[in-house]
Structure formats: C-alpha cells, structure tokens
Structure 1
Amino acid sequence: MSGSTLSELTTRARDIFRLVVEGYIANGQPVGSKTLAGSGGVNLSPASIRSVLQELQDAGLLAAPHTSAGRMPTEVGLRLFVDGIMQVAEPSAAERAQIERGVSAGGTIEQALAAATSALSELSAGAGVVMVPRREPRLMQISFVPLSPIRALAVLVAEDGAVENRIIDLPVQVMPSTLEQAGNYLTSRLAGRTLGEAVAGIRREIAEGHSALDSASADLVQRGLAVWSTDAAARPVLVVRGQANLLDEAALHDLERVRQLLDELESAEAIAGVLDAAREAQATRIFIGSENRLFSLSGSSVIASPWRDGEGRVVGVVGVIGPTRLNYARVVPMVDFTAQSLSKLIGQDGFSRK
C-alpha cells in the first residue's frame, strides 16, 4: 500500500487506523497491537494487526516513537482522520449552556470575551484564545502630503472625524500629481469600509493590472497599505485563557514541547497572525502541527472560527490551542458554537461599549 488517501486504505486498515487515532487522542500514548486486539473493535490476531500497523506506518499515516511497540498518528495521519473519518459530536446541552453563560456575561466586550474564552478552555482542556474585535474605523478619506523628495505623510480620516497620520518612505521622488492620484484611488475604494475589508481587494486589483494607476501611483498605494497594515498587526488585542490545561499528565512526558508551546503563547502578535488566517473562512479551520509555522516547533494544533457582527462582517476569531491530540470531534463543534454565540450576541448589540 502506498499513498495516504482514504481510497487507498482497505476496510480493516481504515478501522485499525481510526482506533489508533482515537486511542491516541484519548490518552496521549502510542497504541499497540495487543491493546487493539483486546479492545474488541478488531477481529484480528495481534500479528495481523502488527502487519496492518506497519503498512500504515509505511504509508506515512502512523509513526512508532522511540522504541515503543505502539503507534501514534503523524500530522498527515491526523489530517486524513480529521478530513475524512472523524464524526463530530455536537456540544451537549450542559456544554452549550456553559458557553452561553460566558458569552452573555455582560460588561465590556473584553469581559464577555474573557468569560467565553474561559468556558471554552475548561470544556476543551486546551488554551482558549479569542481575538478581540478590531476597533478599525470606517474610513472616509486618505491623502498623501509631500514632506520631502523621498518622504510623504499619509493622512487617514475616519467617518467619526478621527484623523491619524503615518510617515512613509518613497523609493524615488514622487510628483504631487502622483500623490493626489494615489489618494483619490484609495479614497474611492476605502470610503465606508475598514482598512482590513479593502486591503485584499485593492492589492488583487493592482496585482492583476485592473487598476487605472501608473506604476509610480501603484507603488505608492502599496506602501500606504503596508504602513497601515503593519501598524494594525503590531497592536493585536487578544484574550488567552487556560494555559494551565496544557500541563496534563501526558504532557509531563514531553516537557520540552509544552515549554515551547507556552513560549509561543506569549507572542500576541504571532498568535494574531495565526487567527487572522481563519478570518475569511466560512467554517471552523483546523491547523495541525507544522501546517502553521508558529506552532510547528511545539507540534501543537489550532482550531479557530470567525465570528461576525449583525451585518455579517468578520470582527474577530475564537479558538482553542493545544497538543495535536486534541479531541477534534468534540472541540471543533464547541469552537463553532462559541463563534455562533458571539456573532448572535454582537448582532443584537449585546456588548457594552464602555
């Protein structure tokens, strides 16, 4: 057997693979042939099971850590399990009630999100994390004012009258007409929207050559977008709860991985980047191990889902971070339900703006 797709697995190989993954997720330990034979879920001898386990290992779906006779799923195996085998279990009434109590705790946005994140962390046995809604203003106008031959001032005016300025460097001297053209172009596309909503479309339009800008104006627009985007990313607002959940009994056997993960959780900007990857998703996203560069060293997974305001705009992301043996079937619908609950509450203007 070669490859790592479900169609290439025999029925018994698929059953054994599922049992190994579920066993590993349940206790964090490699699963051996004797355990599988004694579980009653496989009507094969230990020798036959070992043969199938070896086939699954050769296919890259399982690994044998250290000198253990047991097997555990690789990241490729976990991805195959999550995408093709896993059966999600909807949150129980008690779990839904606990999440809803957190979401509707009242107070400020940050207080409600902290309570919801704590509930999600307790239920998932991972670290709950949420990105607070970006307080990006609705924009009215952006303009560029020359300061020197190679510097300009980008002036952004919001609908509420707030004004912010940023200095940008220019590669060559830019004519005043170019500054004006770039400002008019951005204003026409940013007006009434947040910067985050408009950036992707503007960059795609320029990259595909669909804009009416000359090369100098296009470069200026790109530089203006870059300075605003970088500034926003440098100030992420996150709520993280439940780091202590990562220090379970299984983690004691892999303290270096846990130490690395806890270090990674200290980087608010980096975590915001991870969650940002889920902002435009229509459903819950799952990043397993090295699928996300931030958590590749610790071999951790992220389950994240966007939540929206009353007009359907994405305003934040909520999720769970933990070891790759997270109970995906249980945590994915929990994260999804939390995102839906937050969307419902903010859609009803249920947050205090104090």
Structure 2
Amino acid sequence: MSLTPITEMNDRARDIFRLVVENYLGTGVPVGSRTISQLPGLNLSSASIRHVMQELEEMGLLAAPHVSAGRMPTEYGLRIFVDGMMQMTEPSPEERRAIERQVTESGPIEDALAAVSTALSGLSACAGMVMVPRREMVLRQFSFVPLGPAGGQGGVAQALAVLVGSDGGIENRVVDLPPGILPSALVEAGNYISSRLSGLTLAEAQERLMQELARDRQALDEAARGLVERGLASWSNDAADRPVLIVRGQANLIDEHAADDLERVRQLLEDLEGKSEISRLMEGALAASATKIFIGSENKLFSLSGSSVIAAPYRNGGGRVVGVVGVIGPTRLNYARVIPMVDFTAQTLSRLMR
C-alpha cells in the first residue's frame, strides 16, 4: 500500500475522495459508489466511481469495513482531508453568543471554565474539555469575620475567612473554630497574615509562618496561631483539590451509532476517567500557537478507542499560554464545524483572562 499525497491525485479522484469523506462524516456509515453517483455535479457511473474508490483504497485513503460495504476514510485519509481539502465553517452568531454568554457571569474562574466546557460540548455534540490554569493566589489582605451564635465562654463557633488577592480577587471560606476562640484572636490572626505574609503565595506564606514561629513562639498567642494555620490551610487544601482538567458532556459520545461500536465507546469512556493521562495530552497543546488536531492512533492514548481530539491554547493578558480548551469525539466528527468552534472558544477564554 502506498501513501500517495492528495496533490498527486487527479481531479476526479480528489472529488470522489472529498464526497466520500464528507458523506461519511455526515452520516457515520460507510459510503457506497451508488450514493456518490446520485450526487449532483459528478456525472460518473457507479462502476467508474467504484474503480476510483478502489484506487483510493490502495492509496491508503479509504477502507472497507466489510467486503460488501461501502468505503470510509482511514485515519490517514482523514488527516489528508483535514489538512488539505476541508473548508471551514465559522461559528454562527448564535453559537458565538452561546459561548460568550458563559464568560460574562461573575464568580470563580473555574465556574466560568466549566460553563464554557459545557456549552462547547453541547454545540459540538462531543465531550468538552478545558484545562484549568494553575493559579497560585498571592495574599494582599486577610481577615476573619465572626459568624453565628457565640460559643461557650464568649467564644466564636464559626468565622468567615476572607482573602483578598494581589489581583483584587476576593474569596472566602467558612471555618469551624475550636471552643473558646475570642473575637480578639480573630482580629490578631487577620492582622498578622495581612502585615507579615502579604505579597506571598499560600505555599510561601505557610513556609514563612513556620519559620517565624520557630524563631519566636511569642509572635502569636496559641489561639491566634491556630487560626492563622487553619485559615491558610483552608485555601491550600482547596487549591490542591481544584480540578486541573474539567470534562463535560460524556453522554454525547453515546450516539445513534454507538450500538454498533460499543467496545470503542467503552474504551473511550475509560480513557476519559483517567484524567491525568488526558491532562498530559492537553499539556502537549500548551506549546502550540494554534489549534491542534489528534486523529485516532496519532495519539497513543486514544489508539484503542479510535477518537479524535481538537485542542486550542488560551492565553492571559500578557500573552502567555495558561490553559487549553478542546473536545473529544469519534474520528467521524464534523471537523469543518468543530475546529473553528474550538478556536473561537479559546479566543473567548483569552479575553476572559485579560
């Protein structure tokens, strides 16, 4: 079998190849010569088309799943089509608005990213994926606000720990307090963090805290010291638990053709459960300057499930790549429509990060 570049094919072979691929991507089923012969503008008999399709199969561009079945593009054929023949279809105004709407809501950045992933999944009929940028909160100000009824002996049962970051972002957590904590200890702990640990990341603040307390155990009384440690830990643990990869819309992968290919779908869903592996795949797109397309076995992770991944990097206000957004679906997905949609989503997220 020779792998002939599409540029070396004649016009008739290119036209038939393009029609086979477009029909297959639209229907998900192998395409026969009779189907192609009934399309307008070709004016060829089924026998002539069948002969050309046989040549395309010998070139490695088409394959027949069964002897009596029609032809479908190979992964190599899909790559040739995507790289050299496909005409992109830009997202419609409605699709653009559906994506942009998800980044206008206020709230944590992770919520916006998850919403964008869900919207992209629905519009593309694939599973949407977005890699959350790894952020290290830099402290600017910290305070404890007493909540609820006081505990025994004038103490406070709960407090709202409020963190103001150097970027102006505000986050808060409800912290359960040990018995007997007085409001004055809340003030002392907040003042200590704001004055002594401002300008540090959470990890740096914890390290500085341990160093200072080791040198001077009287820097804070016991109650305030426990509050500082508890307050910093609430964010550190949360940051460690934040998902690096958000996946939405796995149900889209079980379409009307899934019954004919249950093993592939099962394998794909298993792959999606192993988010660390997919994260490594998405990280491979971090260095890309544009949208990347992985078709089937071009990526080892999805060689068994026969899936395609379209991924595009998004950037912060300084132009540095901070994350990746994309979709995963069967190799027969609508590349001409989905690739521009992923690219537009990445541009939208880049505007959000400014």
TM-score when scaled to structure 2? Answer: 0.70
Aligned to 1:58: 58
Q: Is 2:295 the counterpart of 1:255?
A: no
Quick one: distance in 2 between partners of 1:65 and 1:257? Answer: 15
Residues 1-354 of structure 1 correspond to what in structure 2 (within 5 A)?
Answer: 2-135=2-135, 160=200, 162-163=202-203, 237-347=244-354
Q: Take 1:239 and 1:121, find their aligned partners in 2: how far apart are those partners? A: 12
Note closer, same or farther for the CA distance 1:88–1:133 as it changes in structure 2 (3 Å cut).
Answer: same
Q: 1:233 and 1:46, CA in 2 relative to 1: closer, same or farther beyond 3 A?
A: farther
Give, in angstroms, the shift of residue 297 of structure 1.
Answer: 0.5
Q: Distance in 2 between matches of 1:9 and 1:242?
A: 39
Residues 2 and 8 of structure 1 are in contact (CA less than 8 Å); yes or no, is this contact kept in structure 2? Answer: no
Corresponding residue of 1:215? none
Distance (whole Å) between structure 2 residues aligned to residue 99 and residue 235 of structure 1: 23
Residues 228-276 of structure 1: CA deviation (Å, up to 9, x unaligned): xxxx999861111111111111122101100100000001100101101
The 3-state SS of whatever aligns with 2:255 is coil
Question: Letter of the aligned partner of 1:279 in structure 2?
Answer: L
Distance in 2 separating the partners of 1:290 and 1:137: 39
What RMSD over aligned residues (CA atoms) do the two structures have, in Å? 2.2
Alpha-carbon distance in 1 for matches of 2:323, 2:41: 42
Which SS does the other structure have where 1:35 is aligned? Answer: helix
How much does 1:14 deviate?
0.3
Q: Distance in 2 between matches of 1:317 and 1:61?
A: 30
8 Å Cα contact 2:314-2:346 kept in structure 1: yes
Distance apart, 1:137 and its partner CA = 7.7
Tell me how far 1:69 sits from its aligned partner.
2.7
Maintained 8 Å contact 1:286/1:301? yes
Q: Is the Cα–Cα contact under 8 Å of residues 128 and 328 in structure 2 kept in the other structure?
A: yes
Cα distance in 1 between the residues matched to 2:16 and 2:103: 40
TM-aligned CA distance change 1:273 to 1:68, over 3 Å: farther
Output one character per residue of 1:150-190: Cα deviation in whole Å (capped at 9) or x when no partner: xxxxxxxxx725557xxxxxxxxxxxxxxxxxxxxxxxxxx
> Which amino acid is the alignment partner of residue 327 of structure 1?
N
Gaps of 5+ in 2: 139-198, 205-238
TM-score, normalised to structure 1, is 0.70
Count how many residue pairs are aligned between Structure 1 and Structure 2: 261
Checking the alignment, whether the CA contact within 8 Å between 1:105 and 1:115 is kept in structure 2 is no
2:184 equivalent in structure 1: none
Shift of 1:7: 1.6
- Deviation (angstroms), 1:119: 0.7
Identity %: 67
C-alpha contact 1:131 1:275 (8 A) present in aligned 2: yes
Q: Report the Cα distance in structure 1 between the residues aligned to 2:52 and 2:136, rounded to whole angstroms.
A: 54
Structure 1 residues 342 and 34, CA gap change in structure 2 (3 angstroms) = same
1:9-42 CA-partner distances (Å, limit 9, x unpaired): 1101000000111011001000000000012242
The separation in 2 between residues aligned to 1:236 and 1:56, in whole angstroms, is 45
SS at the partner of 1:342?
A: helix
1:76–1:136: structure 2 CA closer, same or farther, 3 Å change rule? farther
Distance 1:259 1:89, change over 3 A: same
Q: Secondary structure at the match of 2:325?
A: strand
Q: 1:98 is matched by which residue type in structure 2?
A: A
The CA distance in 1 between the partners of 2:98 and 2:254, in whole Å, is: 23
Structure 2 equivalent of residue 184 of structure 1: none
Conservation of the 8 A alpha-carbon contact between 1:236 and 1:272: no
Change in 2 beyond 3 A, CA 1:115/1:236: closer
2:100–2:348: 8 Å Cα contact kept in structure 1?
A: yes
Aligned 8 A contact 1:235 1:269 in 2: no
Q: 3-state DSSP class of the match of 2:106?
A: coil
The structure-2 alpha-carbon separation of the partners of 1:296 and 1:41, relative to structure 1 and needing over 3 Å to count, comes to farther
CA distance in 2, matches of 1:279, 1:254: 32
**What's the CA shift for 1:136?**
5.3
Task: Note the alpha carbon deviations across 1:289-332, whole angstroms, 9 max, x for none.
Answer: 01111111000000000000000111110000000011010000
Q: Residues 173-209 of structure 1: CA distance to partner in whole angstroms, max 9, x if unpaired?
A: xxxxxxxxxxxxxxxxxxxxxxxxxxxxxxxxxxxxx
What residue identity is the alignment partner of 1:100? E
* Structure 1 unmatched ranges of 5 or more: 139-158, 165-231, 348-354
State the one-letter code of the partner of 2:331: T
